[in-house]
Structure 1
Amino acid sequence: MPRTLAPILSAAVSAALSVTLALTALTQPSHAQQKTPEPYAAKESLATKPVPQSRGEVQLSFAPVVKRASPSVVNVYASHVEKRSNARANAMEEFMRRFFGEEGGGRGPRGLPGERAQRSLGSGVILDESGLIITNNHVIDNMNEVRVALADKREFEAQIVLRDPRTDLAVIKIKNPTGGLIAMPFGDSEALEVGDFVMAIGNPFGVGQTVTQGIVSALARTQVGSSDYQFFIQTDAAINPGNSGGALVDLQGRLVGINTAIYSQSGGSHGIGFAIPASMVKAVVDSAKGGASTVRRPWLGARVQNVTPDIAESMGLDHPTGVLVANLAPKSPAEEAGLKRGDLILSVDGQAVDDPEAFGYRFALKGIQGQTKFGILRGTDRMTLPVKLGPAPETRPREAVKVRTRSPFLGATFVNTSPAVAEEMQVDFPSEGVTVQAVEENSIAARAGLRKGDMVLTINGAPVASTKDIERLTRNPMGMWEVAINRGGEVLTSVFGG
């Protein structure tokens, strides 16, 4: 509606409210005159709720919050450009693109023939006036060119500073900022409550910066599947493709989450969106500010599991809570702290944990310096144990080996297993064998079913203790290969032809 009509409508609304209140007072029947029926009495109680008392309250708007927060939200355009050497193939591809209007074929971001580009569209949030921006890792995954567009229409090239697939977060930085960047302050995601108002700001479907409003629908959601650390804020603020990496803000315009996923069967918003809490975002950004290209997290050296109703009953608990210590690595912080198998971890620095996902999230936030405190239940005794914080150690060199001879391992890269490798690959330690660090796409190893994180135990019956064993045992071609691997704690044996 035209802006000039707003004051007239406001005055009309105020007048209407005054008349309504006056009529209500005149027509209200007294209790002495007649007994009020029960249904009407229930409605009457609603009249005790406050009504707007001023023009400002009648014109309640989120506009001031949006004005404060929106300059910090950017559009992120990422692309991966591949040079094409076959001129004839490029010409045919260009013809198909022009004739059928195929997106992303034949031309790179600058429209150059002979290039093929994959493109990704998302959002990001400026968190530092130097141009440091947080976004989702899946927005820039496998991309080599990144540009950002600010709310004031300025565009800049950006470089990738840090990728963290485990949280689905990435940090990028504007290469040559010209000033005027507005950083969004962090809010306290730990203080959020279900029912709090929040707003999502991003670039859905590439239509431009868009603001949607809703409430916090749930906290600590763990069955989302978009990262290793399952601990999400759920909101009904509309989140759509392109919103990824955008801001979830509170009513003070502070960042409380990074929008990262939606629950949808059609690809559109169904009122179920998920955001990574600001506390995890801050931990990733602090790593980038410290000059790290990867996020270093504390290592516990223990495997924990869910507490089932049966386990809770056997331990004398009213209901399942905490996480059960199932395994300990020798000389690990867990063992040195005095943790034992069968201990129940109830809290991390006083914050309750109810499942392994919540425990992993809380512990990961503690950093790699100092110590934290676990609330423990051992039998019937409750106690507090201090746990030293530090990164997983490289107890022996990785000595990476890429197999280049014809065998079921051709195209796979192996490293010696250590606590640091086990932490990165999310496998248990101590473990026997050597770990698969990477598998080339469409390689013989990939077709044989080898996966990142697999641990090779034996080859043709010979034990594999180091990457040197891999080199020695795959040096000569064989007519038949018998391979034993450990995958997620299960030992699998397969036979392959030479």
Structure 2
Amino acid sequence: MSSPKHPFTSFWTNIRSGRLTTTFTVLGALSVGVLAGSLLTGRVHGAEQKASDAKPLTIPSPVTLSNGFSTIVKQVEPAVVNINTESTPKPASKRRGGRNMPVPNGGDDDDQQNDMQDFFNKFFGGQNPNGDGDATGGTRRALGSGFIVDQRGYIITNNHVVDKADHIYVKLSSDPENPLDPGRPATVVGTDKDTDIAVIKIDPKGMTLPTVKLGNSDGPQVGDWVLAIGSPFGLSHTVSAGIISAKNRSIDEGPDANGVSKNQFQRFIQTDAAINPGNSGGPLVDMSGSVIGMNTAIYTQSAGSEGVGFAMPSNILINVYNMLIGPSHKVTRGSIGIQFQANQSSAVGRMYGFANGGVMVSAVTPNMPAAKAGLQPNDIIVTIDGKPVKDGDELVSIISAKTPGSTVKIGYLRNGKQESAEVGIADRAKLFDDLDKSDSSNNAPDDSDAGRAGQAKLGITVSAVPAPMASKLGLKNGGVVVTAVRPGSFADEVGLTRTAVITEINRHAVTDVSSYRSIVSNLKSGDDVVFVVRAQTGGGSNFIGGTLP
């Protein structure tokens, strides 16, 4: 029987065999870690005790930097207001162009899914930029901006901000931020859809309201600094800065049913100052603190600012405002009762002898001043009261500023011969009310007898004008109707469309398919080609042309 081993002998035997080597190594490492941690803790604690000699930080006194922007904002911002509206949708109405400027073809709301590059978003905006109903499908709410121009409470804004609103509320910059308080009730004094300008009024209730200083929009130049102030997305008192990037900019919305441009009275200041939904109606301010424009539209693919904004010039604002606060609360513009084609090709001017300026009459309204004075379609207006007329924009500007009942002396060319006539000025609104009552329906032609002459050169197919269409258009000398246009062809490029009725080519009458074929056969590359196309309403003609490739 073996004797029991002594514990110490067993322990020593284990060490010699290496079984406890690992155990001691682990214990040693832990001991070093504990000692190091204690030493570091003691040192940190000591550093905290020595921090009593650190000086506390202080907020410095405010410094006013040499920035003129802030000075201008302090002058103008108190007179900039936030406008919010409420409206109840009318079941039977189809709203048109209230929130988005239409595509060039004048499409309805259903057509606004077209290419976003082809139209300009107006700014309703705020929490509900599209002016849509609330979650219950009831009241529609929209936001915009405006600015006070009279201490009695008169405010200028955009017509599309307050259009069709049942309730309008205004919040001043000094009003407390209270989401439950819509603001002060406002009433509409007058609106002008042609320039998208509206005047509204609030009761000052004994307050001395701040006002803006209106400037002359002819003074600022491209490249000058400007500030835009308003309430984008409902964020009131927002300021953005930029420059004037263009002046006298027009936005082509296309003609209405009568062939008249929908925005011929709108010529904008273009700016790259950030403008977003809700800025609509707010001021565009120059570096003197004067309001030189009212922010009205943006060019966008995202419904937000992309650096191209448009402001209605202050000179137009002032003229329209003065009429809207007058006894009739409406804008009266002069007209002589003619229509003309805007943006004609230079080929038309060369072919008809007015390449250096002038406006070719496309239609004369019966029983209106121009007709009574003897003006006819194809006459070329070259002067008004002895002053040259450069283009249609200048003609509209001069005539619309005249008072109904007054007269002007118009110089014009007829078949190359200088003529003149005293022409009275009529009320444009009354004239177009009468035009709107006329029948603008169109009968599509039968293309079963289409003539293919000129298809290779021009890219169109034509046929004889159907008798019902000829009767409706009052065609005495015949013509041909376009039944097809080849995409990418010369005719397509210059804007000739299907159903267009051609009565002349290069001053040669087109009476039927045979005469059309004869004229086209003599055309060659490099020739100016001008089509005279019968207008569907008004009894006049449009001129479409270009240089044949």
- Classify the TM-score, shorter chain: 0.5 to 0.7
Q: Is 1:313 aligned to 2:350, yes or no?
A: yes
The C-alpha deviation readout for 1:474-498, integer Å capped at 9, x for no partner, is xxxxxxxxxxxxxx9548xxxxxxx
Q: CA deviation at 1:346?
A: 5.1
The C-alpha deviation readout for 1:237-282, integer Å capped at 9, x for no partner, is 1111101011112222222221111011111111100112223222
Q: Which has the higher contact order (CA 8 A, sep 6+)?
A: 2
Structure 1 residues 208 and 373, CA gap change in structure 2 (3 angstroms):
farther
Q: Is 1:63 aligned to 2:120, yes or no?
A: no
The answer to whether the 8 A contact 1:156-1:176 is kept is no
The C-alpha deviation readout for 1:177-228, integer Å capped at 9, x for no partner, is 4322223233222344322332211111111112222222112222254845
Q: Which residue of 1 aligns with 2:337?
A: 301
Out of 135, 145, 150, which is 1:105 matched to? 135
Q: Is 1:283 aligned to 2:295, yes or no?
A: no
Q: CA deviation at 1:68?
A: 2.4
- Please list every run of 5 or more consecutive structure 2 residues that lacks an aligned counterpart in the other structure: 1-58, 92-131, 177-182, 254-261, 442-471, 473-533, 538-549
Q: Could you say what the CA RMSD is over the residues aligned between the two structures, in angstroms?
A: 3.8
The C-alpha deviation readout for 1:405-427, integer Å capped at 9, x for no partner, is xxxxxxxxxxxxxx35136x4x8
Structure 1 residues 177 and 191, CA gap change in structure 2 (3 angstroms):
same
5 Å-filtered alignment, 1:349-428, equals: 355-357=391-393, 359-368=395-404, 370-371=406-407, 387-392=423-428, 419=431, 421-422=433-434, 425=436
Q: Which residue of 1 aligns with 2:187?
A: 159
Q: CA deviation at 1:147?
A: 0.7
Out of 134, 142, 154, which is 2:156 matched to? 134
Out of 222, 233, 250, which is 1:222 matched to? 250
Q: Which residue of 2 aligns with 1:184?
A: 212
The answer to whether the 8 A contact 1:230-1:358 is kept is no
Identity of aligned residues (%): 36
Return the letter of the residue paired with 1:138: H
Q: CA deviation at 1:301?
A: 0.5
Q: Is 1:148 aligned to 2:205, yes or no?
A: no
Structure 1 residues 82 and 214, CA gap change in structure 2 (3 angstroms):
closer
Q: Which region of structure 1 is more displaced relative to structure 2, 285-294 or 337-346?
A: 337-346
- Please list every run of 5 or more consecutive structure 1 residues that lacks an aligned counterpart in the other structure: 11-58, 85-101, 107-114, 395-418, 436-462, 464-487, 492-498
TM-score, length of structure 1 as denominator length: 0.58
The answer to whether the 8 A contact 2:232-2:276 is kept is yes
| Aligned counterparts of 1:250 and 1:384: Cα–Cα separation in 2 | 44
Out of 63, 66, 74, which is 1:6 matched to? 63
Q: CA deviation at 1:78?
A: 0.6
Return the letter of the residue paired with 1:6: V
The answer to whether the 8 A contact 1:156-1:177 is kept is no
| Aligned counterparts of 1:350 and 1:233: Cα–Cα separation in 2 | 30
Return the letter of the residue paired with 1:310: A
Q: Which residue of 2 aligns with 1:73?
A: 80
| Aligned counterparts of 1:243 and 1:264: Cα–Cα separation in 2 | 14
Q: Is 1:206 aligned to 2:227, yes or no?
A: no
Out of 263, 282, 291, which is 1:246 matched to? 282
| Aligned counterparts of 1:350 and 1:152: Cα–Cα separation in 2 | 53
| Aligned counterparts of 2:388 and 2:77: Cα–Cα separation in 1 | 34
| Aligned counterparts of 1:192 and 1:230: Cα–Cα separation in 2 | 18
| Aligned counterparts of 1:126 and 1:373: Cα–Cα separation in 2 | 40
The C-alpha deviation readout for 1:445-472, integer Å capped at 9, x for no partner, is xxxxxxxxxxxxxxxxxx9xxxxxxxxx
Q: Which residue of 1 aligns with 2:105?
A: none
Q: CA deviation at 1:117?
A: 1.5
Out of 138, 143, 149, which is 1:116 matched to? 138
SS in structure 2 opposite 1:310? helix
Structure 1 residues 326 and 173, CA gap change in structure 2 (3 angstroms):
same
Q: CA deviation at 1:81?
A: 4.5
The C-alpha deviation readout for 1:122-142, integer Å capped at 9, x for no partner, is 001212221111111211122
Structure 1 residues 271 and 329, CA gap change in structure 2 (3 angstroms):
same
5 Å-filtered alignment, 1:445-484, equals: none
| Aligned counterparts of 1:170 and 1:157: Cα–Cα separation in 2 | 16
The answer to whether the 8 A contact 2:270-2:308 is kept is yes
Return the letter of the residue paired with 1:119: R
How many equivalent pairs are there?
334
SS in structure 1 opposite 2:139? strand
The C-alpha deviation readout for 1:22-70, integer Å capped at 9, x for no partner, is xxxxxxxxxxxxxxxxxxxxxxxxxxxxxxxxxxxxx242233222222
| Aligned counterparts of 1:198 and 1:348: Cα–Cα separation in 2 | 36
The answer to whether the 8 A contact 2:332-2:429 is kept is no
Return the letter of the residue paired with 2:434: A
SS in structure 2 opposite 1:324? strand
SS in structure 2 opposite 1:63? helix
Q: Which region of structure 1 is more displaced relative to structure 2, 355-364 or 172-181?
A: 355-364
Instruction: Tell which structure's C-alpha radius of gyration is larger.
Output: 2
Structure 1 residues 213 and 373, CA gap change in structure 2 (3 angstroms):
farther
Q: CA deviation at 1:79?
A: 0.8
Q: Which residue of 1 aligns with 2:33?
A: none
| Aligned counterparts of 1:348 and 1:247: Cα–Cα separation in 2 | 35
Q: Which residue of 2 aligns with 1:397?
A: none
The answer to whether the 8 A contact 2:82-2:144 is kept is yes
| Aligned counterparts of 1:347 and 1:278: Cα–Cα separation in 2 | 28
Structure 1 residues 267 and 250, CA gap change in structure 2 (3 angstroms):
same
SS in structure 1 opposite 2:61? helix
The answer to whether the 8 A contact 1:230-1:361 is kept is no
The answer to whether the 8 A contact 2:133-2:139 is kept is no
The answer to whether the 8 A contact 1:159-1:175 is kept is no
| Aligned counterparts of 1:213 and 1:283: Cα–Cα separation in 2 | 27
Structure 1 residues 61 and 346, CA gap change in structure 2 (3 angstroms):
farther
Q: Which residue of 1 aligns with 2:479?
A: none
TM-score, length of structure 2 as denominator length: 0.53
| Aligned counterparts of 1:186 and 1:128: Cα–Cα separation in 2 | 11
The C-alpha deviation readout for 1:69-100, integer Å capped at 9, x for no partner, is 2222211111115799xxxxxxxxxxxxxxxx
Return the letter of the residue paired with 1:136: N
Q: CA deviation at 1:234?
A: 1.1
Structure 1 residues 335 and 146, CA gap change in structure 2 (3 angstroms):
same
Q: Which region of structure 1 is more displaced relative to structure 2, 300-309 or 217-226?
A: 217-226
